Amino acid sequence: MRLDVITLFPDFFSSPLASGLLGKALNKGIAQVNLVNPRDFSLSKHKKVDDEPYGGGVGMLLKPEPIFAAVESLPQLAKREVILMSPQGRPLNQPILQKLATETEQIVIICGHYEGVDERVAHLVTQEISLGDFVLTCGEVPALALINGVIRLLPGTVGKEESLKGESFAQGLLDYPQYTRPPVFRGWEVPNVLLSGNHREIEKWREHEAIERTKKRRPDLWEKWHNLQNSTQSK
């Protein structure tokens, strides 16, 4: 998997890309992250990449020329997605990450900044993705979330790949509660079923708790899951 990041702040990624499972995956060659600064493609004397918006308004916009030049400088693999991190995009979720991890060879990520990017950049883009209904100072934060979410799904990144199947959102539900030693901490006890050794009962308990937790904390997810279950059973 090749990931190319168009960013005004390459140093932002230095520590996160060198840390934890992400750093190990990159060292093993499971994925490659290439950082490209659009300033390197600016034709202005002072490497300017932004300008005032036509029609007036507060703030500055990223100009299209350096972004186009940066993206067009990259090799183009057969299965490529060009993604603009933008509040106007689709909210990032696990199915999007799963599709990117399994159906693409190259992901080009454009990080917005200031008041955003010139609308003509959309002609480069195959999809826009957002972290949610809020605004950040830059696109590097959501870009890093996307990179992390995709790379951790690639074979070889997570030691026990079976753990990916039972985590939050993998089955359309939040994760079930989990406990470790000690069995009693400040009066709070680990549920007896988890100490029983009865794996069938443990699985039933986990499924029940995942459903109840989702229903309580994310009724929107629970409703989607519930409707899907009803639809599947009626076929």
CATH of the domain at 187: 1.10.1270.20
Q: Are residues 62 and 128 in the same domain?
A: yes
Residue 232 has a pLDDT of 80
- Which of 93, 116, 151 corresponds to the end of one domain? 151
Q: Are residues 28 and 101 in the same domain?
A: yes
Residue closest to 63 by CA, chosen among 1, 113, 135: 113
Q: Are residues 190 and 87 in the same domain?
A: no
Q: Are residues 114 and 199 in the same domain?
A: no
Strand 50-51 with 80-91, pairing: unpaired
Would residue 160 count as lying in a domain?
A: no
- Which of 92, 121, 151 corresponds to the end of one domain? 151
Q: Are residues 137 and 179 in the same domain?
A: no
Would residue 156 count as lying in a domain?
A: no
Phi, psi dihedrals of residue 213, rounded to the nearest 5°? -65, -45
Where do we find the tokens 């986990």? 206
Residue 164 has a pLDDT of 62
Residue 139 has a pLDDT of 95
Q: Are residues 211 and 143 in the same domain?
A: no
- What are the tens digits of pLDDT across the range 162-221? 556 555 576 889 999 999 999 999 999 999 999 999 999 999 999 999 999 999 999 999
Domain that holds residue 209: 165-233
- Whole-number Å distance between alpha carbons of 228 and 235: 11
Q: Are residues 33 and 110 in the same domain?
A: yes
CATH number, residue 116: 3.40.1280.10
- Count of structural domains, the chain: 2
Would residue 9 count as lying in a domain?
A: yes
Q: Are residues 175 and 110 in the same domain?
A: no
Would residue 214 count as lying in a domain?
A: yes
Strand 61-62 with 50-51, pairing: antiparallel
* Residue 142 near residue 130, CB atoms below 8 Å: yes
Q: Are residues 8 and 98 in the same domain?
A: yes
- Which of 126, 151, 176 corresponds to the end of one domain? 151
Would residue 159 count as lying in a domain?
A: no
Would residue 206 count as lying in a domain?
A: yes
Low pLDDT (below 70) residues in the chain: 160-168, 170, 235
- Whole-number Å distance between alpha carbons of 151 and 129: 17
Whole-model pTM? 0.88
- Whole-number Å distance between alpha carbons of 104 and 83: 12
Q: Are residues 67 and 116 in the same domain?
A: yes
Q: Are residues 104 and 199 in the same domain?
A: no
Rg of the chain over all Cα atoms, to the nearest angstrom: 22
Q: Are residues 115 and 205 in the same domain?
A: no
